[in-house]
Chain A
Amino acid sequence: MATHDSDLSTGRAMSQSASTWLSLNRRHLPVETLVLALTLSLWVVMAFSTPNFLTANNIINILRQVSIDSIIAFGVLFPILIRGIDLSVGSVVALSGVVCATLLTMGMPIPIAIGLTLLLGIAIGSLNAFSVHRLGIPAFIITLAGLQAYRGGAFLVSGGTSVFGLPQELASFARAEWLGIPSLFWTMLVIGLILHFILSRTRTGRYMVAMGSNYESARRAGINIKRIVFFAYIISSVTACIAGILLMSRMSIGSPTAAVAYELNAIAAAVVGGASLFGGRGSVLGTFIGALLFATIANSANLLGIDSFWQMVATGVLIAVVVYVDNLHKRRQSGLK
């Protein structure tokens, strides 16, 4: 902080603009770049550690995994932005996969089955938003309830087992590659671009940041809070349903045990990618980088034959460290409060 008492207002303005410029850069770059650097160094280390890492097959594998993880994480980012949370997405992934698979095995045309599954996502998102906005139930609680209930629903719909016998077109979608890049990755890219566009260019995106940043200011500015809440939770559930359909396609079955604990992965990706659980901060690109880091860790541990328990420990430590570093930056910025 500049503490020289100067009467020269121009000098003051200049030092102020210099300091905001610095804090601006410090503000938007650190976490994401740090995480990206970490991810890239992991890639380099892995490339030297095992010949199996930098193979076309393995990279495509990582891309497929990161695609589904990212889509879920992009969705979860929206409730987080408005200072909410959605813990139900993992279960919604499973439920939507099972529902869509069941509809398909009943002989329903693919577009209609997918359409109905997405409608389910809209319904679940609306229910979450309604509970939060109208009934005043904390998002944490209502989506925790959903985490249980939708998983139960997935078992009920499927009769406790996996749903087999998907149409060939659907099963082959996830395996397809266009221009050497998995179809899943392209799908993720399109969804990511749309959501990024909404966040950075539209009023709705701005209002979400405003609402997460200062609820009162958003309300007093006359923003339609209800609309924003519904939008955020519907995005979260619908992207979870899309991920559910893609995962079903990838596994060629609708499995009620799919995507267990994916919600935690998704939230971790968003947070490691710069989102604040206190709302108002987060980006689609950062979330993707976060998801890429976790997918890389999982893949590396797998290739190196590291115990998956160690992998869980490492992931946990990583989340703690990144959030700590981010907080440190923020505190420094607000004058070592």
Chain B
Amino acid sequence: MSSLLEVRSLKKRFGAVEVLCGVDLSLEAGEVLAVIGDNGAGKSTLIKHISGVYPRDDGEIWLDGQPVTFTSPKQARHAGIETVYQDLALADELSVGANIFLGREPTRRWLGMLPVVDKRTIQRETQRLIDSIESHIPDGTSTVAGLSGGQRQAVAIARALYWDAKVVILDEPTAALAVMERENVIKLSRMLASKDVGVIYIGHNLVEILEVADRIAVMYRGRIVHVTRAEDTSQEELIKYMTGYTDRQIA
């Protein structure tokens, strides 16, 4: 029995700085795994390896019991790994629907010849999706520019949902959100997990982490220093690990 996703002794250095010094991590289908850690601990770098943004220096990534090497985000998406980035990566000038389908637009033949984007299908599917996640996105044909942070987050999550991802990575999804909107993102994350998606949830807010996560992994200076079930831990304990406490003291 293998995990949905497994990362084994992943290493990465940027110039002289070793940002990941051998990270091990496993993710099961249907769980929300929170990854926490101080600024610069290497969380974003870690997930960018899983999602094909960076090539790794060393280590392995296994998906569904197979070793995988992604050389582009596109390959990772094809394999079923969707990422909602910290910086969101939505195109402001495009509509909600266009963003959800970006790079994977359905096409039809115009006059039976030229392939054109099938706007009607996009619109219909987008509306269906918006209704299913109840996220108060007013209209799938309006541009993303006018949406609030929470709505943008919902669009990004909807994108992951639509494409039947196996793994969804959320990098600080609530960082820029109002309290009300945070609750909605937490709800959406739980909904993904209930559909048997494995969710990696990066965050700083421990109250929120304890609410959303099944398991929590703590990163410190490029290492995972502690992994625990959410119900077995507390804010105090997590803070201890986030600030450099290790179970095995290094001599």
Contacts and interface: CB of A to CB of B under 8 A. Distances in A.
Interface of A: 9, 12-13, 16-17, 19-21, 23-24, 27, 201-203, 206-207, 209-210, 212-214, 216-223, 280-281, 333-334
Contact of B102 (A16, A202, A210, A280): A210
Chain A, interface SS category: helix
Contacts of B88: 217
Rank and list the top 10 A-B pairs by shortest CB-CB distance, nearest first: A222-B74, A221-B103, A17-B138, A217-B89, A213-B91, A280-B93, A213-B93, A201-B116, A221-B102, A16-B138
Given A24-B142, A220-B83, A201 B117 contact: yes
B2 to A, nearest CB: 27
Contacts of A19: 138, 146
Interface string B86-98: 0111111110001
B94 A210 contact: yes
Contacts of A221: 73-74, 89, 102-104
Given A20-B138, A333-B145, A216 B89 contact: yes
Nearest to A27: B143
A209 B91 contact: yes
A168 to B, nearest CB: 36
11 contacts: A17-B139, A201-B110, A201-B116, A210-B94, A213-B92, A214-B90, A216-B87, A217-B90, A219-B73, A221-B104, A222-B77
B93 A281 contact: yes
A201 B139 CA distance: 20
Interface residues of B, number: 34
Nearest to A9: B136
Interface in B97-156: 98-99, 102-105, 107, 110, 114-117, 136, 138-139, 142-143, 145-146
A313 B43 CA distance: 55
Nearest to B87: A216
A206 B106 CA distance: 12
Nearest to B159: A221
A219 B73 CA distance: 8
Nearest to A16: B138
Nearest to B53: A220
Contacts of A217: 88-91, 99, 102
Contacts, number: 96
B115 A220 contact: no
B117 A209 contact: no
Given A214-B92, A223-B103, 8 more contacts: A21-B142, A23-B146, A27-B143, A201-B110, A206-B98, A206-B102, A221-B74, A334-B145
A212 B139 contact: no
A209 B93 contact: yes
Nearest to B99: A217
B102 A223 contact: yes
A21 B138 CA distance: 9
Contacts of B90: 214, 217
Contacts of B105: 203, 206
Nearest to A214: B91
A218 B91 contact: yes
A209 B144 CA distance: 13
A137 to B, nearest CB: 24
A206 B89 contact: no
A201 B117 CA distance: 6
Contacts of A207: 103
Interface string B30-70: 00000000000000000000000100000000000000000
B233 interface: no
B72 interface: yes
A3 to B, nearest CB: 12
Interface string B73-86: 11001000001010
A321 B167 CA distance: 49
A212 B136 contact: no
A20 to B, nearest CB: 4
Given A203-B117, A206-B117, A210-B102, A20 B94 contact: no
